[in-house]
Chain A
Amino acid sequence: GAGVSQSPSNKVTEKGKDVELRCDPISGHTALYWYRQSLGQGLEFLIYFQGNSAPDKSGLPSDRFSAERTGGSVSTLTIQRTQQEDSAVYLCASSPARRGGLNNEQFFGPGTRLTVL
């Protein structure tokens, strides 16, 4: 079956430009997550969407970052006025509805490698 897909796979942009990264979660998964992973670093949580609930945006590093999820499915992460420190792999994950408070396993996409020149 289809897994989580992300596009583009690679994005090179100039400092100061805006970028949009797209995530298509697994069909039927109500939870969607964005993370980023810088070279040699661990996973950094950015934002979490669960159904119709207000998203948890606590991981967004600045107000240049925003994300939306339309129709409970596709999500777009937007970075405005990109900076060189935004260069990283941006990972999207999805999971089925949470049961009894247990964090279900998260299914990750291949990521978008963003390079800001």
Chain B
Amino acid sequence: DAKTTQPPSMDCAEGRAANLPCNHSTISGNEYVYWYRQIHSQGPQYIIHGLKNNETNEMASLIITEDRKSSTLILPHATLRDTAVYYCIANPSGGSNYKLTFGKGTLLTVNP
């Protein structure tokens, strides 16, 4: 699986958009970009995934660059409950893609 790189921490003001970057310059054509988050003392929570088109759901938007070497997760109106560690992973379709492996992620702190 392609390695991903994320900043260790970010701050965001409550009500503002949180834009979390992820670099995946070695991503291969069959690898999807997945985002999960983990709120303190809870299990990880799936957020969104995409291949090459931008995606949006009720939680967030995912913007993937045309060359697919990086992506940005956008939380449009961050709340205090969005404070969590956010993980970006590149996960292939098929094979053993069910083995999720998280790196260090980005600790997003939403401030009042």
Residues of A whose CB lies within 8 Å of any CB of B are 4, 31, 33, 35, 42-43, 45, 48, 56, 59, 91, 93, 95, 98, 100-103, 105-111
Q: Of the candidates B42, B100, B102, B103, which one forms a contact with A110 in the assembled complex, judged by CB atoms under 8 Å apart?
A: B42
Residues of B whose CB lies within 8 Å of any CB of A are 32, 34, 42-46, 49, 91, 93-104
* Least distance between B93 CB and chain A CB atoms (Å): 5
Q: Count contacts between A and B, CB distance < 8 Å.
A: 57
Q: Of the candidates B32, B44, B91, B103, which one forms a contact with A91 in the assembled complex, judged by CB atoms under 8 Å apart?
A: B44
**A108-B44, A109-B43, A110-B43 given as contacts; is B94 within 8 A of A48 (CB)?**
no
Contacts of A101 in B (CB 8 A): 93-95, 97
Known: A42-B102, A48-B98, A102-B93. 6 other contacts (CB 8 A): A42-B101, A91-B44, A93-B44, A101-B95, A105-B46, A106-B44
Contacts of A100 in B (CB 8 A): 93
